[in-house]
Structure formats: structure tokens, C-alpha cells
Amino acid sequence: MRLARPLLRACSVGIALVVLAALAACVATAPTPRAPIEPPSGPVSLSPYRTLQGGFLSPPGSALGMPARPGTGAFVKLMAPTALALRGNDLLIVDSAAGRVWRADLGLNTLTPIAGAPATPATAVAIGPDLSAWVLDGASRQVLRFSRDGRLMQTWRGGSVSPSPVAMALADGGTTLLVADDSLRQWIEVRPAGAFAAPMPQDDAVRGVDGLAVGGDSVFVLDRLAGVVHVVRRGGQLAGRLGQGELKQPVAIAADRFSRVFVLDAQDRAVKLLAAGRPAQVFEAAALRVQQIGGFAIDERLLAVSDRLTGQVVIHVLGDEVRR
């Protein structure tokens, strides 16, 4: 026992020295913080990535994000896809002709129906960071949230606060839901603590709130009647406008992680990339490899476009290199 105690002390001291040396090495080799990523300033190129015409019917995946098993059902073809939402391998597709909202797994080529989710030409969808599906049901004036395993998790009803919801977006890392109301010319911010209205600036040039996209601390508000996109701070201050004289019949809007704004122009049958100080970059339907654009979505460097005429979704890679 007398020999064992000094041996234990020596071992303890040795272990402590090893731990301290390891910590010192970690501190010495800690990476220096990277400079903020600047948005690409040049034109965007498109590279076709894949075309989705349908998928194999599959049960809902795990609530923890595990994919469903491949090949568990017959192949289901899309009929008339309209609105889309994209995050990683998960793609939400509103097929208004089939009356279904599908969750597609791009890695496994499967389709899973979201039971109870409405699917009309006016339905909008979004995907949260937990891969939950947000579905805007304008006819019933409500927003439904479904978990990845298909359970209805949350229902928000606009009521008198939002009698005419037409679009939505997620902000603050997915913790805040923004709902656009075209009749009251405002958007509603729905947070865990409750909901409150965020009226647009009292400006004669602001004629409507028909679509929303979020980038940083700004909300990009689509104004169909005025044919512009208003850049509004979360506090309600008008910071600028995009697309003046370039948008003819804007119907949908999205923004990427660089706060670049993309607008679907139904009259020109094109998706337009708007940037302050330079002309809009136009991606016509032919360049997008579709015939009739039903909707579009952006995630990271991917642009997904639905073709409601041919029943397919075409995904492109945005080709700009990120400057560091």
C-alpha cells in the first residue's frame, strides 16, 4: 500500500500534465476567425443539377430527421407542381392538381404525402431548420406546421388580425413566422410569446404586401400593384426599393443567404435576380428548362423551379464563387 500511493500520485500528476499540454496545444492551434462572407457581385450562372418527375411512395420519415426507406411504394408522378420549399435533401412540393403536398427526399427519390395539408394554387410552403413543414392555407386563413414524421404540431389562425393571409416567410433562425396580409397592408410576426402586427411604412408608393422574403435584418416585401420589392427593416423603416421598371407581373419572391432577391415575373415567364445599382438578371423559362413556371425555391446554392405544365421540378446550381 505504501508503494501504491506514490505510484497513484505520480500517475495523477502525469495525467494532469498530459491534459494541460493538450489544452495548450488546442489554444495554440485554434483557427483564427474568418472574415465575413461577402455576397457575389457579378452575374449568376446556372448549371442543371437534376430533374424530378416524381418519386417512390414512402411513409413519413423519423421525427429526428432520418430518411424514409427507399422503394417502399409505387412510383408517383407529379401532375401540376406549383409552390416549392427546399432545405438540404428535403423538398416540399404543392401539387395542386393532385390535391397533395408532398415531401420529397432528393437523396432517396421518395415522395411522402403530408396528410391534412391543403394543396391549391394559392398554397405556400416553407421548411424550418428542424425540417418541419409550414403550410399556408389562405382559404381557411391559417398556417399549419407538420413535423417530419407527419404529425400536426401547430396551427395559427389569422382571424381579424390577418383576414387575408397570402404569403409567409421564416425569420430568426426559424423561430419567427412572418405572414403577409394584403388587405391590411402589413405582415404579422408570430413568435412563441404571441403575435403582433408590423405595419408597412405610411408611404404612398407602398400599395400592397403580397409576398415576403427575409435576409439579415431586412424583410423584402413584394408589391404587385407597384411592381417593386420594398426593402424594409424589421422595425418598419423603409430602406429602399428594387425592381422599379423591371417587374411587370411579379407573383412570388425568395431570397438566398446573401440577401439576393429573386422574383418570379409571370408576364415575362422568368425568374429575375434583383440587385441595387444594376439591371436585373433575367432567367427565362427556356433557360430554366421549364415551359410554365409554377413556383420556385432557393436553398444555399440551389434553385428549384416547378413546371406545372409538364409536371416536374428542375433544380439548378447557382454558379457564382463566394469571395472570402
Domain boundaries, the chain: 41-318
Give the other-Cβ count within 10 Å of 214's Cβ: 18
**What pLDDT is attached to residue 207?**
86
**What pLDDT is attached to residue 89?**
94
**What pLDDT is attached to residue 194?**
75
Per-residue tens of pLDDT for the chain, all 324 residues: 444 444 434 444 444 433 334 333 333 333 333 333 455 667 899 999 999 999 999 988 766 555 555 556 799 999 999 999 999 999 999 999 999 999 999 999 999 999 999 999 999 999 999 999 999 998 899 999 999 999 999 999 988 888 999 999 999 999 999 999 988 888 899 987 777 777 676 677 788 899 999 988 899 999 999 999 999 998 888 899 999 999 999 999 999 988 899 999 999 999 999 988 889 999 999 999 999 999 999 998 999 999 999 999 999 999 874 443
For residues 86 and 104, what is the distance between their CA atoms, to the nearest angstrom?
A: 10
Q: For residue 25, what is the DSSP state?
A: H
**What pLDDT is attached to residue 12?**
45
Phi, psi angles (nearest 5°) of residue 156 = -120, 125
For residues 293 and 100, what is the distance between their CA atoms, to the nearest angstrom?
A: 18
Fold of 41-318: Neuraminidase (2.120.10)
Residue type, 191: R
C-alpha cell recorded at residue 35: 472574415
C-alpha cell recorded at residue 97: 392538381
- Residue keyed to cell 400593384: 225
For residues 86 and 126, what is the distance between their CA atoms, to the nearest angstrom?
A: 8
Strand 194-199 and strand 211-215: the pairing is unpaired
What pLDDT digit, counting tens, does each position of 159-217 carry? 888 899 999 999 999 999 999 998 888 889 998 777 777 767 667 778 889 999 998 88
